[in-house]
Amino acid sequence: MEPDKDLIIIGAGPGGLAAAQYGARANLKVLVIEEMAPGGQALVIDDLENYPGVSGPVSGIDFCQVMEKQAHDFGAEFITATARSIKKENNTFHIETSKGSFSSYAVILSTGSKNKLLGIPGEKEFTGRGVSYCATCDGPFFKNKKILVVGGGDAACDEASYLSNLSDKIIMIHRRDRFRAQKALADRVLHNDNIEVRFNHILKEIKGTMKVSTVLFENTETGETYEEEVDAVFIFIGTMPQTALVPDLPKDEAGYVITNQRMETETKGLYAVGDVRATPFRQVVVAAGEGAVATHCASQHIDDIKGMSYI
Ligand code: NAP
């Protein structure tokens, strides 16, 4: 029996949306399954300033809405559902979701990644009550307040810069003596008068009653521990890939799905793109490019199955 769709895309971040647009434009029957709003982690971008050809203040939300519309206008179908499993029988994939099952010749996994937690006392307890993982979502609640940012990568530097527009009392700690972030983003933080950077610092505990009131720091150079009052703690210490649907696929040491340069995983017809894929550089533009490559290769695979290959 023929599957319902040619191509199913699981996850509608920039990688999945680009894949959907390319697939629908190539006349494939495309279904995108997303459990939240299309856009993924890109939705929290305040100003997408490094996507080639897009300039001026553009929020991640606006950018992703245009990507979704493009895919939709070319004919891609979207459903809001949670994908629960992927199984392959002969040339057909069967996807079980919270809204029923769907089948296709090819699947693109673009399930992205989730924020890592520090795992310290008080973190879980005060999440939503002063502890946050998204500056654009929660920053405005802490206008002119004393805000702590934890982390040293691109996300921490980007988000600290965003928060410095809301308050001039930002403390940023990082466990090493310099930032991991791209130089442009790190320099922006280091030259920002509203951000006080403390290197060689770790956060040991978050305290409060109804909401965050105090944190416990350790200066790892001196061994000194000390408490300080803060109103909010924003944590950006990296991400974890969402790979529960593909437990058996090969991953790198950090758990990201390994593909070849055609975005093919070890399972024929199953591709991975964006933040769930093992890649040296996680960017919106990279995810979108990977989505285009995956769909191009999936389309050739589908033509092979249908006996329509251009040889
Ligand atoms: P990341 O690059 O993995 O950086 C995570 C940072 O958190 C590192 O500095 C790390 O310290 C620190 N860290 C990790 N675990 C920690 C712990 N338990 N306690 C204290 N600190 C800890 O993650 P990211 O910044 O979320 O970025 C993820 C990906 O998205 C990257 O590929 C990044 O380039 C991309 N991204 C790009 C942009 C942009 O281009 N504007 C913005 C956001 C994200 P160490 O340095 O010691 O490991």
Residue 311 has pLDDT above 80, yes or no: no
pLDDT score recorded for residue 46:
84
The pLDDT confidence band at residue 181, using thresholds 50, 70 and 90, is very high
Nearest to 105 by CA among 29, 15, 25, 35: 29
3 vs 94: CA distance, rounded Å: 9
| Rounded-to-integer distance, Cα 117 and Cα 18, Å | 29
- d(C-alpha 245, C-alpha 241), whole Å: 11
Residue 247 has pLDDT above 90, yes or no: yes
Other beta carbons within 10 Å of 184: 11
Is-contact 17 40, C-beta < 8 A?
no
Residue 105 is predicted with a pLDDT of 98
Question: Is pLDDT above 90 for 44?
Answer: no
Distance 151 CA to ligand 1 centre (A): 7
By most ligand atoms within 8 Å of CB, the mutation choice from 282, 284, 285 for ligand 1 is: 282
pLDDT higher than threshold 80 for residue 192: yes
Residue 264 has pLDDT above 90, yes or no: yes
Separation of alpha carbons 145 and 299, rounded Å? 52
Neighbours of 205 (CB within 10 A): 15
Q: Which residues of 271-300 are buried (b: 16+ CB within 10 A; e: fewer)?
A: bbbbbbbbbeebbbbbbbbbbbbbbebbbe
**153 C-alpha vs ligand 1 centroid, how far in Å?**
4
Nearest ligand 1 atom to alpha carbon 279: 32
Q: Which residues line ligand 1 (CB under 6 A)?
A: 50, 118, 151-156, 158, 175-176, 180, 236-239, 281-283
Indicate the top mutation candidate among 113, 180, 199, 218 to test ligand 1's pocket, ranked by most ligand atoms within 8 A of CB.
180
Strand order in 201-208's β-sheet? 201-208, 212-219, 225-229
Which residue's alpha carbon is nearest to atom 38 within ligand 1?
Answer: 154
The per-residue pLDDT for range 194-237, each reduced to its tens digit, is 999 999 999 999 999 999 999 999 999 999 999 999 999 999 99
Cα(180) to ligand 1 centroid in Å equals 7
Give 173 or 309, the one with higher predicted confidence. 173
Q: How many residues comprise the chain?
A: 311
Describe the chain by its helix, strand, coil percentages, rounded to 5: 25, 30, 45
Give the distance (Å) from ligand 1 centre to CA of residue 302. 37
Query: Which residues are part of the catalytic machinery?
Result: 134, 137-138
CA of 243 to the centre of ligand 1 (A): 19
Hey, what amino acid is at 227?
A: E
Residue 290 pLDDT > 90:
yes
Sign of the CA dihedral 136, 140, 141, 143?
positive
Residues forming beta bridges with residue 232, ordered by sequence position? 147
- DSSP calls for 213-242: EEEEEEETTT--EEEEE-SEEEE---EEE-
Q: Given this model, what pLDDT does residue 57 score?
A: 85
Residue 68 one-letter amino acid: E
CA angle 234, 239, 245 (to 5 degrees): 135
pTM across the whole model: 0.88
